[in-house]
Amino acid sequence: MKIGMKMIDLTRPKMLARGQIVLLCALICAALLCCTVQLARAADTASASGIETPARHPHPIPMPADADVDRSITRGVDFLLSIQNRDGSWGSATQTKDLNIYAPVPGAHEAFRAAVTALCISALIESHDARPAVSQSLDRGEKWLLEKLPQVRRAEQSTLYNNWAHAYGIEALCRMLKGHAGDAERQQSIKAVIRQQIDRLTRYEYAFGGWGYYDFESHTDHPGEYAPSFTSSTVLVALKAAERAGVEVPKRLTDRGTAAVQSQQKPDFTYLYSGTFWKKPMRGINQPGGSLGRSQVCNLALRDWGDKRITDAVLTECLDRLFARNMWLDIGRKRPIPHESYYQVAGYFYYYGHYYAAECIAELPAAERPRHTAQLDARLMALQEKDGSWWDYPLYNYHQQYGTAFAVMSLAKGRIAK
- Each residue's pLDDT tens digit, 318-347: 999 999 999 999 999 999 999 999 999 999
Tens of pLDDT, residue by residue over 155-200, are: 998 999 999 999 999 999 999 999 998 899 999 999 999 999 999 9
In the structure, what pLDDT confidence band is assigned to residue 417 with cuts at 50, 70 and 90? low
Return the number of other C-beta atoms located less than 10 Å from residue 31's C-beta: 10
> Of 187-196, 198-207, 271-280, which gets the smallest average pLDDT?
271-280
User: Does residue 28 carry a pLDDT above 60?
Assistant: no
User: Does residue 55 carry a pLDDT above 90?
Assistant: no
For 60-87, give one letter per residue: b (16+ CB within 10 A) or e.
Answer: ebebbeeeebeebbbbbbbbbbebbbee
User: Does residue 9 carry a pLDDT above 50?
Assistant: no
Same-domain pairing of 71 and 13: no
Tens of pLDDT, residue by residue over 92-150, are: 999 998 889 999 988 999 999 999 999 999 999 999 999 999 999 999 999 999 999 99
Same-domain pairing of 34 and 80: no
Identify the pLDDT of residue 41. Answer: 41
Same-domain pairing of 110 and 73: yes
Identify the pLDDT of residue 217. Answer: 87
For the chain, state the CA radius of gyration: 25
Dihedral sign, Cα of residue 54, residue 328, residue 342, residue 317:
positive
Mean pLDDT of the chain: 88
Same-domain pairing of 150 and 31: no
More confidently predicted of 270 and 5? 270
Identify the pLDDT of residue 366. Answer: 95
Same-domain pairing of 76 and 96: yes
Please name the helix (run of DSSP H) or strand (run of DSSP E) that holds residue 333, with its range, or none: none
State whether residue 206 is helix, strand or coil: coil
Average pLDDT of the residues in 62-91: 97
More confidently predicted of 35 and 273? 273
Identify the pLDDT of residue 418. Answer: 59
Identify the pLDDT of residue 275. Answer: 86
User: Does residue 246 carry a pLDDT above 80?
Assistant: yes
User: Does residue 352 carry a pLDDT above 80?
Assistant: yes
| Helices and strands (H, E) in the chain, number of each type | 14, 2
User: Does residue 297 carry a pLDDT above 90?
Assistant: yes
Same-domain pairing of 23 and 115: no
Identify the pLDDT of residue 113. Answer: 98
Same-domain pairing of 63 and 34: no
Identify the pLDDT of residue 24. Answer: 53
Average pLDDT of the residues in 391-412: 98
pLDDT over 90, % of the chain = 78
What's the one-letter identity of residue 68?
A: D
Same-domain pairing of 17 and 146: no
Tens of pLDDT, residue by residue over 248-258, are: 999 999 999 99
Same-domain pairing of 20 and 103: no
This prediction has a pTM of: 0.86
Same-domain pairing of 127 and 214: yes
Identify the pLDDT of residue 265. Answer: 96
User: Does residue 8 carry a pLDDT above 70?
Assistant: no
Same-domain pairing of 114 and 263: yes
Please name the helix (run of DSSP H) or strand (run of DSSP E) that holds residue 2, with its range, or none: strand 2-3
Q: Could you tell me the CATH number of the domain that includes residue 235?
A: 1.50.10.20
Locate all alpha helices (DSSP H) within 157-287, ordered by sequence: 162-179, 184-203, 229-244, 251-262
Same-domain pairing of 252 and 344: yes
Identify the pLDDT of residue 280. Answer: 87
Q: Number of structural domains, the chain? A: 2
Q: Which domain holds residue 9?
A: 2-44
> Of 23-32, 53-62, 74-83, 323-332, which gets the smallest average pLDDT?
23-32
Average pLDDT of the residues in 76-105: 95
User: Does residue 394 carry a pLDDT above 60?
Assistant: yes
